[in-house]
A and B are shown apart, each in its own frame.
Chain A
């Protein structure tokens, strides 16, 4: 009872009352400004389509039986045709079907890894920037250590040590990627904590937690969002590379990097099993880059 009363009292400091009353402006004019950036609009549409495929592929794919370990001896390595738009692979499976079914693995990997990296990295970086002193020194040295090993190398090593699988590749990439957001949150907190509104909030009796999460965090949200979008692309590139090298998804999963790797054995005669999955990775990453660039220009204009 008394605990609850105390927390209500804390929320009733004037600055929090003001915050609660602040409503965001209607977002339609801003949306229009974002969409006017043509590459960002194209990227958004592409990504939206991919999300539809990611969820609805069981109903959309032309050959639902070909997703995993089906073998069709009668149509092995058939070149692209009206029947099989992207051709068939070494086991006679429709490549378009498998690419569509694999959308969730790459997009999902990007989404999960970036979310985990933000959840770990942002609070750590904010604490380092806000409290300074030894806390900051120790945290930032750890960030330095993680930054001085190339992301692909560390993620590959952790993924193999955990036992190669797509889930472990995601865990490995999250362990590697938190440092990116820790560094951004640290830099942003350092510059934001000297803003007048933070000083005012402190004088009005706001707690550290309130200042960190209600005053500073919302003001760095745009920087985090831009990096998250651009880095989701980078994470997908590294994630598919890990599967390509054999330390991520394992056959017969329809993972794009793995499909390029297994198609490689049938070059140069059959180029389609390795060409099309690579184009799918390219399309996903390019969409994210176009949206990220658009978001950066959008926030720079505000």
Chain B
């Protein structure tokens, strides 16, 4: 693979990360929100507030505060979280796997269900499957996730009682290796814990997957239909090739590149949605901590979370870009530059 391309992308990543850190740093310092007032409450004296402000370095000039933050970052120190009373980096390390597990599970559902449905809808264009999928897609992108989460909890928790509706696990957890409960329990050969983890994942992952699933399905359908206009599917059919092979092996592969771009776009949206979904399902992840930190004006927490999220957004987008030439060998990365 083109090494120069990857290096230039990594450089771009760093520029974006620096930009985001400056943006969020300036926003927290310039806008009226005050962490000290939020942490100490209304009864704190002026002296107490000034003391905490000095301890946190909030009385320094803006550029000195930023310099302190960056030097701290290089020693793996993101500053004290006022919500958790611990260093932000420790909280993030502890909670990141839960959020990643949820987002990967949702992305998995969205792709594994969305892509075949899109192919089916394209093959039966304007047929019953296509019409139903059109309506389902419209619903998928139109409902508020917090509301569907609550309704799903109501349905599952009371009427059906099939699945757990809050938290991540209700049995003793396997020893943490990756932090992903599904993987750790398999490594420990603890199948009860594995089943339990999967059952806890289903509801929040479904809510998180619905919108992306809908958009992926419509995107695959539209691009499959464009590919069907070309001569090669007809030729393959004339040669007696099985329709399943034509559709999934040849046409889908050619039609998949725009979907890959779409998945890159969907990742930040899904991370944003996880803030709401984790809150509704009491999922002990990074996003729930992030929402709490934002609500409490916990500056160090807000900056740490934003940077980690941004890092994953740019990293996953880089991975998506590196997948292009694997899926479609006609594409050469960095060739146009």
Contacts and interface: CB of A to CB of B under 8 A. Distances in A.
Nearest to A289: B142
Interface residues of B, number: 48
Contacts of B27: 157-158, 161
Contact of B295 (A153, A246, A261, A278): A246
Contacts of B314: 148
A156 B151 contact: no
A188 interface: no
Contacts of A244: 144, 146, 276
Given A157-B24, A286-B138, A152 B144 contact: no
Interface string B266-279: 00110111011001
B210 interface: no
Contact of A240 (B28, B138, B144, B294): B144
Interface stretch (A87-95, A123-131, A201-209, A268-276): A268-276
Given A156-B294, A157-B24, A289-B138, A149 B309 contact: yes
The residue among A244, A246, A285 with the most chain B CB atoms within 10 A of its own CB is: A244
Contact of A149 (B20, B145, B150): B20
Contacts of A158: 27, 31
A142 B143 CA distance: 31
Nearest to A142: B19
B50 interface: no
Contacts of A274: 147, 150
A162 B309 CA distance: 22
Contacts of B295: 160, 245-247
Contact of B146 (A39, A147, A241): A241
B275 A153 contact: yes
A153 B272 contact: yes
Given A160-B295, A289-B142, A153 B150 contact: no
B143 A245 contact: no
Interface in B44-93: none
Interface string A138-161: 000110111111111110111011
A281 B144 contact: yes
A278 B146 CA distance: 9
B23 interface: yes
Nearest to A290: B138
A238 B211 CA distance: 13
A150 B33 contact: no
B142 A282 contact: yes
Interface string B134-152: 0000110111111110110
A162 B31 CA distance: 6
B150 A289 contact: no
A257 interface: yes
Nearest to B291: A245
B146 A150 contact: no
A156 B290 CA distance: 10
A152 B138 contact: no
Given A161-B27, A281-B143, A285-B141, 15 more contacts: A145-B20, A147-B268, A149-B268, A150-B268, A150-B269, A154-B306, A156-B294, A157-B302, A245-B276, A264-B150, A282-B142, A282-B144, A286-B138, A289-B141, A289-B142
Interface of A: 39, 141-142, 144-154, 156-158, 160-163, 233, 237-238, 240-241, 244-247, 257, 260-261, 264, 267-268, 271, 274-275, 277-278, 281-282, 285-286, 289-290, 293
